[in-house]
Chains A and B, each alone.
Chain A
Amino acid sequence: MVRLITHNLLACHAKGCTTNNFPLKLQDVVVEVREAEFNADFLRGFLPRIEWTALVNAAKELGDTSLPLEMPEMVDDEFLKNLHHVLLEIHVDEGAMVCPNCGHKYPIMNGIPNMLLAEHEIG
C-alpha cells in the first residue's frame, strides 16, 4: 500500500546519508490499481510539494506515462485526473525501494515498506 504520493516524499534516513538519497529507486515491484476518491482541491494543494521529475520517472517505472515531463503552468481537469491516478491509485504491493547513495534496501512486503535500520545505520 505504498503509493507514489509517499514515495515522492521519502528520502533515505540511514546514518550519514544526506546527499543523493532521493528518490529511492523502485525495484522488482508488483503493483495493484485501486480506485480512490478524486479531490481536486487536495491535488492543487499538494502540487507545490511534489518533486516533479522524481514523480514522472517513478510513474514511468510503474508503467504510467500520462504525466508531462514538466509540471504544467495551467492545471486543467485532465491533468488533475492523471495526477490523481499516479499519486493515489497505483499501489506498490511487493518489491523494494533502494537508496541511490548508500544502497540501503527498504523491502516492501504485503504493501508495507520496512524502514527499520540496523544499529550501525542509526544517526
Chain B
Amino acid sequence: MSRPELVAPPEIYYGDIEAKKYTNNTRVQQIQADMTYRALELLNLPQDEPAFLLDIGCGSGLSGEILDEEGYNWVGVDIAPSMLEVALEREVEGDLFLHDIGQGFGFRPGSFDGAISISVIQWLLNAETSHPTSSPPHRLTRFFTTLHSALRNPSRAVLQFYPTSDDQIQLITSIAQKAGFGGGVVVDYPNSKKAKKVFLCLFVGSGGAQQVPK
C-alpha cells in the first residue's frame, strides 16, 4: 500500500469515504489510542493542574476522545473537512478548526499548556504546488515558529510522525530548533519495522524541567 501522504494532499485523501473508513477501522483506532496515551506520557504535564491542549491534525477526534476522557480541555485543528465532520458526529468536546498547519497558527503567545500530534506532520514534507510558500521548509518554519509562540513557557509539544528517512527527521528537527524548541526524537520499538514509532518531543524553555522519559 502506498503511504497516504504520497498519494494526495490530506484534505483530498481523507474525503468522506476515507474519513469514515479510517475512523471505523479498529486497528487504526487501537494504534491511534496507544500513540495518544504515549504522547500524553511524554508530554509530562503537571498532575495537579488541569491543562489546555492543542491537538494538531485532530482528524475525526480519535485522540480528542481520549483527551476528553482524561479531563483535558482542548482545541483541534485539521485540514480535512470530512474528518472534522466525523469528529462533530462523534460529539467530541474540543473546539474544532479547519486549518492548514503549514500556514502557521494565529493563537496568542502562551495560549496552550501543551500540544500533541498523531501521524500528521509527515504531510508537511510534501509540496503541493510550486509556489514558494508551499515548499516544505517554508511550511515547516511557519508551523514550528507559530507553534512555539502559542505554547506556554515551560511546556512541551509531542508530535508522533512517520518519516521515510533519517534526512526527513534531520530536516524537521533542525527547523524546530531554529524556531526555538529544545528536545529531540524518542523512538519506540526501534528494532521493529512494524511497531517502530517516532515521537518528536519538543521543549519550550526547560520543557517542564524533567528529562525526556525513556
User: How many residues of B are counted as interface, with CB atoms below 8 angstroms from the partner's CB atoms?
Assistant: 33
Q: Are A9 and B107 in contact (CB under 8 A)?
A: yes
Is B93 a contact partner of A9 (Cβ separation < 8 A)?
A: no
Cα(A115)–Cα(B97), bound, Å: 7
B148 within 8 A of A: no
Closest residue on chain A to residue B52 by CB atoms: A46
Q: Which chain A residue lies CB-closest to B48?
A: A41
> A86 contacts the other chain (Cβ, under 8 Å)?
no
In the complex, whether A122 has a CB less than 8 A from a CB of chain B is: yes
Query: Which residues of A from 79 to 123 have beta carbons under 8 Å from B?
Result: 88, 110-117, 119, 122-123
Give the distance in Å from the alpha carbon of A110 to the alpha carbon of B93 in the complex. Answer: 15
A-chain residues with CB within 8 Å of residue B131 when the two chains form the complex: 119
Beta-carbon contact of A5 and B96 below 8 Å: no
Tell me which residues across on chain A come within 8 A of B50, comparing CB atoms. 39, 41-42, 45
Pairwise interchain contact A123-B142, C-beta atoms closer than 8 A: yes
Let me know if A52 is at the binding interface, CB within 8 A: no
Chain B contacts for A3, CB-based, 8 A? 95
Using CB atoms, name the residue of chain B closest to A14: B106
Contact B110 A1 (CB under 8 A): no
Q: Which of chain B's residues have a CB closer than 8 A to the CB of A58?
A: none
Chain A residues with CB under 8 A of B100: 115-117
The answer to whether A67 has its CB under 8 Å from any CB of chain B is no
B65-108 interface code vs A (CB 8 A; 1 in, 0 out): 00000010101010101001100100001111111100111111
Which of A2, A6, A36: most chain B CB closer than 10 A?
A: A6
List the A residue with the shortest CB-CB distance to B84.
A112
- B63–chain A nearest beta-carbon distance, Å: 16
For the A-B complex, the count of residue pairs with Cβ-Cβ distances under 8 Å equals 84
Q: B73 touching A112 by the CB < 8 A rule? A: no
B170 at the interface (CB under 8 A from A): no
Tell me the nearest residue of chain A to B108, going by C-beta.
Answer: A9
Whether A117 contacts B107 by the Cβ 8 Å rule is: no
B49 touching A115, Cβ below 8 Å:
no
Q: Choose among B84, B108, B142 the residue that contacts A10 (Cβ–Cβ < 8 A).
A: B108
Binary contact readout B40-63 vs A (1 if CB under 8 angstroms, 0 otherwise):
000000001110100000000000
Known: A1-B96, A3-B95, A116-B103. A49 touches B84 (CB 8 A): no
Check: B111 CB closer than 8 A to any chain A CB: yes
Asked if A110 contacts B108 (CB within 8 A), the reply is no
Within 8 A of B (CB), among A18-76: 21-22, 36, 39, 41-42, 45-46, 49, 51
13 contacts between A and B (CB under 8 A): A6-B75, A6-B97, A13-B105, A13-B106, A22-B108, A36-B93, A49-B111, A113-B97, A115-B77, A115-B99, A117-B103, A119-B133, A122-B104
Interface residues of A (CB under 8 A from B): 1-3, 5-6, 9-13, 21-22, 36, 39, 41-42, 45-46, 49, 51, 88, 110-117, 119, 122-123
| 6 residue pairs, one from A and one from B, having the closest CB atoms | A13-B106, A42-B50, A9-B111, A115-B99, A6-B95, A122-B133
- In addition to A9-B108, A122-B142, 7 A-B residue pairs with Cβ atoms within 8 Å of each other are A5-B73, A11-B107, A41-B48, A46-B52, A110-B88, A115-B98, A116-B79
